[in-house]
């Protein structure tokens, strides 16, 4: 049998694991790099989508979680803890139970997409809903990790970023070199740092000839890095990136500056329009936060600040089914009248006659 073995086995020599590490995997990674025809036409660039919603729990978080949970299991930990806007908790829950560990997840009250909540619940996480923001949850889990026997699996745990950097390897492996630009959403700011680390590794080892400019996009109402100040009450329909004080703030700035890239903001309207266009034109359904990179690339093009002819990879970070409430609320009119079970009637309603 020939199948993708998960990021630890596929990139073992580049990850902080040993022969003794029990590999806890759901086959994460190996996600599609999809040629984006409509986006390429819009931008006069060669645009690719790294579709991370295809990971086992529906987001890129699985790449880091396989490493974090494998190492927690190796260390003999009994419980893991994380703060989350939803995807990290879904991933932590799945990988933890697979390893026989107890997942404890803290989420901010309200604003967690229902699909993600369902994942934490069905995987059997110990769920604590906190009357506060994601940033409050992160502060609390850091303290819990210090005072109680629970391993912290947020991306402040550096092994998470080690796992996530494998996405950059996959992009280079698929394209034969690094792209000119890599575009992605920024929330707690770990992923942009992880990609940058991966690209630098491949460049240093001469597997790729260059590293791309890193372009990150935050939501306007949750854009602390763009504003240069903590946002006390971050707000955006893209709940996954509703973060006011990102843990990897400095790492993200380093990725931006060392790569000659940018971190900018896009409005919720731009995000939701990009989400809709991606689904309707490229056939790729992503959650709102995941469309921030696409929104940002299109906004940059519209402002006349994107050179044509470049190879561009955009990471779309999570699956659209995570948050169908937001998707349906912003979809084009989609009334579906109940029609008699009759071919002529259906043909009429469908506009075929
Ligand atoms: N896209 C999605 C779908 C996310 O869930 C996240 C982060 C990001 C983008 C931003 O990535 O934090 O590395 O800059 N979600 C975290 C969570 C905060 O708790 O699931 P980042």
Return the HEC string of 27-87.
Answer: CCCCCCEEECHHHHHHHCCEEEEEEHHHCCCCECHHHHHHHHHHHHHHHCCCEEEEECCCH
Provide the pLDDT for residue 334: 76
pTM of the model: 0.97
Report d(CA 322, CA 140) in Å as an integer.
25
Residue 81 sits at φ, ψ, to 5 deg, of: -135, 145
Provide the pLDDT for residue 16: 98
- Give pLDDT < 50 ranges for the chain: none
Distance 162 CA to ligand 1 centre (A): 16
DSSP for 104-149 reads: EEEEESS---HHHHHHHHHTT-EEEEESS-HHHHHHHHHHHHHHSS
- Assign 167 to helix, strand or coil: helix
Residues that constitute the known binding site: 87, 187-191, 317
Distance 41 CA to ligand 1 centre (A): 28
Whether residue 5 contacts residue 27, with contact meaning beta carbons closer than 8 Å, is answered with: yes
Provide the pLDDT for residue 246: 98
Provide the pLDDT for residue 256: 98
Provide the pLDDT for residue 335: 78
Ligand 1 probe mutation, 140, 165, 188, most atoms within 8 A of CB: 188
C-beta 240 within 6 A of ligand 1? yes
Provide the pLDDT for residue 75: 97
Provide the pLDDT for residue 280: 96
Report d(CA 197, CA 133) in Å as an integer.
29
Provide the pLDDT for residue 332: 79
What domains are there in the chain, each with its CATH number? 7-59+160-329 (3.40.50.1100), 61-158 (3.40.50.1100)
Interface confidence, given as ipTM, is: 0.99
Report d(CA 26, CA 163) in Å as an integer.
14
Provide the pLDDT for residue 124: 97
Whether residue 28 contacts residue 6, with contact meaning beta carbons closer than 8 Å, is answered with: yes
Atom of ligand 1 nearest to the CA of 59: 3
């Amino acid at each position: 049998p020939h199948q993708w073995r998960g990021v630890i086995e596929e990139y073992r020599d580049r990850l902080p694991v040993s022969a003794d590490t029990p590999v806890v995997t759901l086959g994460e990674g190996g996600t599609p790099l999809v040629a984006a025809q409509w986006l390429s036409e819009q931008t006069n660039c060669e645009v690719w989508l790294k579709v991370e919603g295809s990971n086992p729990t529906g987001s890129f978080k699985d790449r880091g979680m396989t490493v974090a949970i494998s190492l927690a299991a190796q260390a003999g930990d009994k419980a893991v803890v994380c703060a989350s806007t939803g995807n990290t908790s879904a991933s932590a829950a799945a990988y933890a139970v697979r390893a026989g560990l107890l997942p404890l997840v803290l989420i901010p009250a309200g604003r967690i997409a229902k699909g993600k909540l369902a994942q934490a619940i069905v995987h059997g996480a110990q769920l604590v809903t906190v009357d506060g923001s994601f940033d409050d949850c992160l502060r609390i889990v850091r303290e819990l990790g210090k005072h109680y026997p629970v391993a912290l699996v947020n991306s402040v745990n550096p092994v998470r970023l080690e796992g996530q950097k494998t996405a950059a390897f996959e992009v280079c492996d698929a394209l034969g070199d690094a792209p000119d630009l890599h575009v992605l959403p920024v929330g707690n700011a770990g992923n942009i740092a992880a990609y940058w680390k991966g690209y630098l590794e491949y460049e240093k080892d001469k597997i790729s000839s260059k590293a791309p400019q890193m372009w990150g996009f935050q939501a306007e109402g949750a854009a602390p890095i763009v504003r240069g100040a903590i946002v006390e009450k971050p707000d955006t329909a893209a709940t996954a990136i509703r973060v006011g004080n990102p843990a990897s703030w400095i790492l993200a700035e380093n990725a931006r500056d060392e790569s000659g890239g940018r971190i900018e903001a896009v409005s919720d309207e731009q995000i939701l329009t990009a989400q809709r266009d991606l689904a309707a034109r490229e056939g790729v359904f992503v959650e709102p936060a995941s469309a921030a990179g696409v929104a940002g690339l299109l906004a940059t093009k519209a402002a006349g600040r994107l050179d044509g002819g470049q190879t561009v990879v955009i990471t779309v970070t999570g699956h659209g089914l995570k948050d169908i409430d937001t998707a349906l609320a912003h979809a084009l009119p989609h009334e579906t009248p109940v029609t008699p079970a009759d071919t002529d009637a259906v043909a009429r309603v469908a506009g075929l006659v």
